Structure 1
Amino acid sequence: MPGRQPATLGVSVTFFAIATVFVALRFISRVFVVRRVALHDYLMLLAWVLDFGFSLSLFFAIHNGLGLHAIDVPAENEAALNKANYAFTVLYSPALMAVKTSILVFYMTLTRNQKVFRYANYITLGVVNAAGLALTLVNVFQCQPVSAAWRANLPADARCTDIVTLYLSSSPVNIITDLAILFLPMPILTQMRLPKKQKIILVITFSFGFFVAVVDVIRIAFLQQAATSRQVALKSLHIQNAGTADFSWYASLSFMWSVVEVNVSVICGCVPSLKPLVARVLPKLIKGTNDVSDPTPHRYATGEAPVALPPQVTIPDSDSNQSPADSESKPSPARHGSVSTRRRSSNAPITMLDFLGHPPTGPQDTESNTQTNQTNSSYPHITFFDFVNMKSPESMLKLNNRESIAPIAITTLLFFLWGFAYGFLDILNTQFATVVELDTWHSLGLHGAYFGGYVVGPLLIGRPVLKTWGFKSTFITGLCIYACGSLIFWPSAVLTSTPAFTVSNFVVGLGLAVLETAANPFIALCGPLENSEIRLNISQGVQAIGSVLSPLLAQRVLFKNVQDVASLVNVQWTYLGIALFDVLLAVAFYYLPIPEASDEDLEELANRRRDVNRAKVVGIPVVWLTLGLGVWSQFFYVAGQEVLATSLERFVIAAKPDSSLSPFDFLTIGQSLFAIGRFLAAFAQWFLKPRWILMVAYIGMIVFSVLCMNTTGSTAVVMVMMVYLFESGVYSIVFALSLRGTARHTKTASALLAMGTSGGVFFPFAEYAAYNARGVSYSFCVLVAVFATGAIFPIYLNLVPAVKKQVDPVPNEYLRRHRRRSRAPVGAIRREKENQSRGGVLSRRRSLVSNPDDLPDLPFPGDTNRLPSSRRLHSKSSSTSTSQDNFQSSNDSSTHRNTPISE
């Protein structure tokens, strides 16, 4: 065979044969070992039937010329080749859909008692089948009329969609579902309380889906090569306009890898079902003798109480030496629940939980069988939840400054991530607009699509997930959506489609909006509330560093040579890396002990300043008025921030056209000042109250924006850089101040404040319209207007006494785990905490790093007999009894106190 035909045929036949063997072994295992055939087995059989037709169509296409250049294909074979190609493209999506549906239906047995994972399974199943059906219909009707798809000569009025383009466009769905199927069972499997060897085998067994994702990426690489090669050959701007030129040559290797992908999916889908067969043939490979015979419950290094393992299921063959009478004579404990309620006979089927929890041993392993049956009677019944470690971390509201460092550092990584994403998108939007020759209005539309995600993400996705499942789940959800948005860039680059690229920007913004809904309040609440603004400014400063580094990396390295469609498509590998990093980070967050904050704890903390938070201003509770004006200020502040970002290039060119620095250099300087300003704002709050800093920041933004309108040359450039500096700390301070006192509604308040970021959607269009009307200097009147409108909030904070009392931090405001009992007389009214400082953290009576639990108790009248050792809450055990005795003698002589101090 000439050309690419030998390689294409040989690889395809090999993988189909291996897949056929695995399907046969699966049914041997299910019929003769497990003795039960379930729905997922029938679905896998359907997948193999479709795979057979899919592979056969490729073999027929190779026979008729696939793998040859078009000029080498005999004219009499063209119709047969086109029919084989059409059948191949139509069967691809149904075959892959059947395989993934079989795997997901199998997963249903794992998530029977896990509501969250079951919902995730249903969502993935819905995406797989909806996308599979849609792609199948698109492939069926790829030509109008349909018959044009297999005709040798296209009619003059026929229109066909390039199949390579369709495959590339569907690639994000395949990778997303591959990764979902790979990681869905891992939380359950890795937390099951099984012997280490069994757990490792289970995890490896279910990790074979990794190879499907690898093959999918390889297939996409060949599809991309086929598409761009034709595009370069035809010198066409749009890849989808390449038509059918030399299709039989360019598409052959892509088709081969499509066959490999489907067959590897079948193989990996069959691997978990082979476990009972392997256990029958090679029992010691699955479970060693020591594991079976050891009657001691497995103990864990974490210090948890030992949990007994479930009984081992034995599946005797019909020719087993063990008699039925012997089997019936074995003792059987009374059990109920999700595990089988009786010892199974040789004809009883094994459930999937039995299959996972304890692999069967074959009758040939007689010694192990006997030992297992002897020890099983001592094991009590436990349910599936007993296998899973459901331990929850401590509330973030109970952490002091030292304890909050680790979770804050982990979460700050997310801030860097979305800063990095924002910088990448900004440069990529510019490159995309250059390649496809977009005007400024359309470029602003791409920019607005990103912030459009903030319009819907926080309230529709972020708040429900945050309220229902907490911060960790919201982080994971946001990362997964962000990964999907990164992958959607692929079809937009291939198709050079502005709508597709707009959707990609929107989905990325949606994911980051969900992340921001949880990340900002997490930083603000994790630790004493007096330092909320400091913590949030530091984390936002790290985010700003990401915004500085990513444009440098993109402009100088990754997107340096992006000048045409082919080079734009090559950028997709960067986004694949980002997507995979997001998924791995989401997996890491699942296993990290991220602290949470319940609505009850938030309510309890807010109630300590109940009178302050319930005060009213103009008949409105001060907390809700502060929140409303905070969202207002956030909206207009972000609007100004994005007006400045989108107009900076035009401004510096007009102000200093002969500068040796490029507009990108000025943008880098401005973003660097922005990052530095956030750290300076955090430092300033050691000395000044947050509302004072916010007022100064708004005044600086307004003043320097006005100066930008009235200066030229280097002076104007310096003025615009000063705007960057003064606007840096505003977002964090507004966010933290607006959350104060919102109690059980804190998570809803966070969603509203995150939605305020959507101000970046609209006002860049207004600035550009003003620029077209009156020039760049005049266009900065929009910047002055939005900053002046947002300044209503700091004016309100600094002029209304009730508001000042509500937002000013008080020392050590957090839920202490060891609280002193009250020394006040019975019936006395407790005074609420007052702000004991005139400025920042350093002016308060206790410093930032103080731990109030370790401070000595101040002596009260009548406490003169107390020893110093009794004045600490956390005294050593050797002095405990002495302290109590001394305090008791003091208590006898002091009648106004009747409650002893707890040790």
Structure 2
Amino acid sequence: MALTVITTVFFMWGFLTCLNDILIPHLKAVFELSYAQVMLVQLTFFGTYFLMSLPAGRLVAHLGYKKSIVTGLVIAGIGALGFWPAAGLRWYPAFLGAFFVLATGITVLQVAANPYVALLGPEKTSSSRLTLAQALNSLGTTIAPWFGSMFILSTQVKSAAEIASLSATQQMLYRTQEAQAVQTPYIGLAVVLILLAVFVWIFRLPTLKESTEQADTGHHTLLDALRYPHVMFGVFAIFFYVGAEVSIGSFMVNYLSGPTIGHMTEQVAAKYVGLYWGGAMLGRFLGSVLLAKFSPRKLLSIFAVVNVILLLTTISTSGDVAVYSIVAIGLFNSIMFPTIFSLGIERMGPLTGKASSLLIMAIVGGAVVPQLQGFLADHIGVQHAFYLPLLCYAYIVFYGWSGSNIRSAPVNPE
């Protein structure tokens, strides 16, 4: 029952994170931004993980898992409310501020919920259990693009010249419709987040004597955890994985709507983004079974090799082959985050909390890699910019094959 309740939290933060992929083309058109400028959305959102992971870790150590999850949901709800004034003001920095608050709440959820699920049962099946929880996260990321295509991308964004040609009344009406396309969905999400916080507060979750508290009340530091090679390599693996996954999702609407690739409207392209994340969901349900039977390290390497091949395919082709090869990457992304996370905290005993905080901080890859890909896209085109995530997956091949092997680990006090 506890796992069931926590998976609803995984669902919500997946939904909110993926909705960024739909807001990016909308904001790019509204504010007439370059790719590098609009990727400030992901830089702000995922940069928050880096800035707030340590404070979130201290919060979890102080409040425990349950209260931290409730707190994270409330902060995320406040962030969602921030989209109302941002859209009304039609001011890009206000959107970035709302993204920061929203991401702060999700960071607290990540720091609390990931290790909670990993510790909620035998260590040897933690990868399988976390992958199953992440499958519900992927359900949220699958539904979000469809939701966004209906409510956000349904409003046809006009250029500055088109707006200037309208009468004053028409301009006011258009601005209202444009704002409501963002305001209404996010007000609804804010209400859902607050209700979910109340539900988790009321529900009696099992109290774990968590490793996070043991670590933070002792004399351990982040450097103590980073001295273990499987943790250090795991931090880079999370950085590159999240960076690649977010980059692909962020560029997909613009990429697929290109004349030589999918030649489709942004609304239709958004549905393919749903298929991309839907593949990750399907893969996680299947992966939770496979990971219980086969070596997580070998599966991780194999899936990363397949994604390298799929990226090479989409870069070197056009039309349907380019479309479906990039959408298929989602299926093989499926087991990567939970598997890397589980391998990164494996056999860390009282240092589990510190290792977990480091891995959550590494989600900053979702800020850095899309920003770099934005610069590449502005200079060499969107299609060839996908060489960057290809290199990210090549590193994950190494992590599964060799980097995740435990050279030494602290003795678990149990």
Deviation at 1:659, TM superposition (A): 6.1
Partner SS, residue 761 of structure 1: helix
- Aligned-pair CA distance for 1:760: 1.0
1:625 partnered with 2:229: yes
Residues 787-821 of structure 1 deviation map (CA, whole Å, 9 limit, x = unaligned):
223433212257x5x55x979xxxxx998xxxxxx
Structure 1 distance, partners of 2:95, 2:212, is: 43
Match of 2:387 in 1: 781
Give 1:476's aligned residue: 70
Residue equivalent to 1:569: 179
Write the distance in 2 (CA, Å) between the matches of 1:636 and 1:453.
17
Q: CA deviation at 1:579?
A: 1.9
> Which residue identity is paired with 2:255?
F
Which position in structure 2 is the counterpart of 1:517? 111
- Unaligned 5+ segments in structure 2 are 158-173, 216-223
Match among 306, 316, 319 for residue 710 of structure 1: 316
Residues 151 and 185 of structure 2 are in contact (CA less than 8 Å); yes or no, is this contact kept in structure 1? Answer: no
Q: Which amino acid aligns with 1:487?
A: L
Q: d(CA) in 2 for partners of 1:625 and 1:761?
A: 24
TM-score, normalized by length of structure 1? 0.40
- Judged with a 3 Å threshold, the aligned counterparts in structure 2 of structure 1 residues 431 and 713 are, in CA distance, closer, same or farther, namely closer
Alignment of 1:90-109 (within 5 A): none
- Paired residue for 2:42? 447
Closer, same or farther in 2 for the Cα pair 1:538/1:595, shift >3 Å? same
C-alpha separation between the residues in 2 aligned to 1:710 and 1:428? 28
CA contact (8 A) 2:279 2:330 kept: yes
Deviations 1:278-315 (A, max 9, x none): xxxxxxxxxxxxxxxxxxxxxxxxxxxxxxxxxxxxxx
The alpha carbon displacement at 1:470 in A equals 0.8
- State whether residues 300 and 396 of structure 2, in contact with CA within 8 Å, keep that contact through their aligned partners in structure 1: no
TM-score, scaled to structure 2: 0.85
**Superimposed CA distance per residue, residues 423-448 of structure 1 (whole angstroms, 9 cap, x where no aligned partner):** 33332343344334333332211232
Which residue in 1 is equivalent to 2:17?
422
What is the Cα deviation at residue 774 of structure 1? Answer: 2.8
RMSD over equivalenced CA pairs, Å = 2.9
Alignment pair present for 1:591 and 2:180? no
Q: Are the structure 2 counterparts of residues 600 and 722 from structure 1 closer, same or farther at C-alpha, using a change threshold of 3 Å? A: closer
CA positional deviation for 1:581: 2.5
Q: Measured at CA, do residues 673 and 655 of structure 1 come closer, stay the same or move farther in structure 2, by a change above 3 Å?
A: farther
Q: Distance in 2 between matches of 1:416 and 1:572?
A: 21
Contact 1:603 1:743 in 2 (8 A): no
Please say if 1:648 is aligned against 2:252: yes
Aligned residue pair count:
386
- In the TM superposition, residue 753 of structure 1 has moved relative to its aligned partner by 1.0
**What's the secondary structure of 1:780's corresponding residue?**
helix
Q: Deviations over 1:357-384 (max 9, x none)?
A: xxxxxxxxxxxxxxxxxxxxxxxxxxxx
Distance in 2 (CA, whole Å) between partners of 1:558 and 1:772 is 25
Q: Secondary structure at the match of 2:293?
A: coil
Contact 1:527-1:814 at 8 Å conserved across structures: no
> Which structure shows the bigger proportion of residues in helix conformation?
2
Q: Is the 2:42–2:371 contact (alpha carbons within 8 Å) kept by the matching residues of 1?
A: no
Checking the alignment, whether the CA contact within 8 Å between 2:211 and 2:351 is kept in structure 1 is: no
The residue aligned with 2:241 is 637
Cα distance, 1:508 vs structure 2:
0.8
Pick closer, same or farther for the CA change 1:778–1:454 going to 2, 3 Å: same
Alpha-carbon contact 1:435-1:565 (below 8 Å) kept: no
Q: Counterpart in 1 of 2:169?
A: none
Report SS of the residue matched to 1:685: helix
Pick the aligned partner of 2:89 from 488, 495, 500: 495
Structure-1 residue corresponding to 2:292: 686
Q: Given residue 242 of structure 2, which amino acid in structure 1 is its aligned partner?
A: V
Cα distance in structure 2, aligned partners of 1:407 and 1:530 = 19
Name the residue aligned to 1:400: none
Report the Cα offset of residue 649 of structure 1.
3.1
Distance 1:622-1:582 versus aligned 2 partners, 3 A rule = closer
Match of 1:759?
A: 365
Sequence identity of aligned pairs in percent?
Answer: 25
Separation of aligned partners in 2, 1:599 and 1:543? 23
Deviates more, 1:786-795 or 1:653-662: 653-662
CA distance in 1, matches of 2:371, 2:280: 23
What SS is found at the alignment partner of 2:33? coil
Q: How does 1:282-293 map to 2 (within 5 A)?
A: none
Task: Return the alpha-carbon distance in structure 1 between the equivalents of residues 212 and 49 of structure 2.
Answer: 28
Query: Is the contact between residue 457 and residue 511 of structure 1 (CA under 8 Å) also seen in structure 2?
Result: no
- Return closer, same or farther for 1:774/1:580 CA change in 2, 3 Å cut-off: closer
Q: What is the alpha-carbon distance in structure 1 between the residues aligned to residue 212 and residue 141 of structure 2? A: 35
Shift of 1:587: 2.5
Read off the aligned partner of 1:714 and give its amino acid letter. D
Structure whose alpha-carbon radius of gyration is higher: 1
1:541 and 2:135 aligned? yes
Change (3 A) 1:657 1:704: closer
Q: Residues 111-146 of structure 1: CA distance to partner in whole angstroms, max 9, x if unpaired?
A: xxxxxxxxxxxxxxxxxxxxxxxxxxxxxxxxxxxx
Q: Is 2:100 aligned against 1:506? A: yes
Residues 707-742 of structure 1 deviation map (CA, whole Å, 9 limit, x = unaligned): 322233322223212322212210010111111122
1:673-706 Cα deviation digits (max 9, x unpaired): 1211111211211321111111112211222222
Relative to structure 1, the CA distance from residue 443 to residue 514 in structure 2 (aligned partners, 3 Å threshold; closer, same or farther) is same
Question: 1:654: Cα distance to partner?
Answer: 5.1
Residues 623 and 742, structure 1, Cα contact 8 Å, conserved in 2:
no
Question: Which amino acid in the other structure matches residue 244 of structure 2?
Answer: G
Cα deviation digits, residues 179-235 of structure 1 (max 9, x gap)? xxxxxxxxxxxxxxxxxxxxxxxxxxxxxxxxxxxxxxxxxxxxxxxxxxxxxxxxx
Amino acid at match of 1:595: P
SS at match of 2:39: helix
Note if contact 1:453-1:508 (Cα within 8 Å) is conserved in structure 2: no
Letter in 1 for 2:35: T
For residues 711 and 640 of structure 1, what CA distance do their matches in structure 2 show?
20
Task: Specify whether residues 599 and 643 from structure 1 end up closer, same or farther in structure 2 by C-alpha distance, changes over 3 A only.
Answer: closer
Note closer, same or farther for the CA distance 1:710–1:663 as it changes in structure 2 (3 Å cut): same
Which amino acid is the alignment partner of residue 578 of structure 1?
A: L
Offset of residue 764 of structure 1? 1.6
In 1, Cα distance between equivalents of 2:44 and 2:185 = 21
Pairwise CA distance, 1:483? 1.2
Determine the C-alpha separation between the residues in 2 that align with 1:763 and 1:597.
36
For residues 152 and 413 of structure 2, what CA distance do their matches in structure 1 show? 46
TM superposition shift of 1:621: 8.7
Instruction: Tell me the SS of whatever aligns to 2:32.
Output: coil
1:730 pairs with one of 316, 327, 336: 336
C-alpha separation in 2, matches of 1:562 and 1:654: 19
> How far 1:603 moved relative to its partner?
7.2
* Matched letter for residue 430 of structure 1: P
The residue aligned with 2:171 is none
Contact 2:315 2:384 (8 Å CA) reproduced: yes
Alpha carbons of structure 1 residues 709 and 551: separation in structure 2 relative to 1, 3 Å: closer
Unaligned 5+ runs, structure 1: 1-405, 605-619, 808-812, 816-903
Superposed CA deviations along residues 377-409 of structure 1, whole A, max 9, x for unmatched, are: xxxxxxxxxxxxxxxxxxxxxxxxxxxxx1010
Q: Is the 8 A contact 1:547 1:671 kept in 2?
A: yes
- Give the superposition deviation at 1:665: 3.0
Write the letter of the residue equivalent to 2:240: F
Distance 1:777 1:501, change over 3 A: closer
Residue 482 of structure 1 and its aligned partner are, at CA, apart by 0.5
Q: Residues of 1 paired with 2:413 and 2:177: CA distance?
A: 53
Deviation string, structure 1 residues 314-341 (Cα, Å, up to 9, x no partner): xxxxxxxxxxxxxxxxxxxxxxxxxxxx
What amino acid maps onto 1:628 in structure 2? M
What does residue range 291-370 of structure 1 map to in structure 2 within 5 Å? Answer: none
Q: How far apart are 1:632 and its partner, in Å? A: 1.0
What amino acid is the match of 2:241?
Answer: Y
Counterpart code for 1:569: A
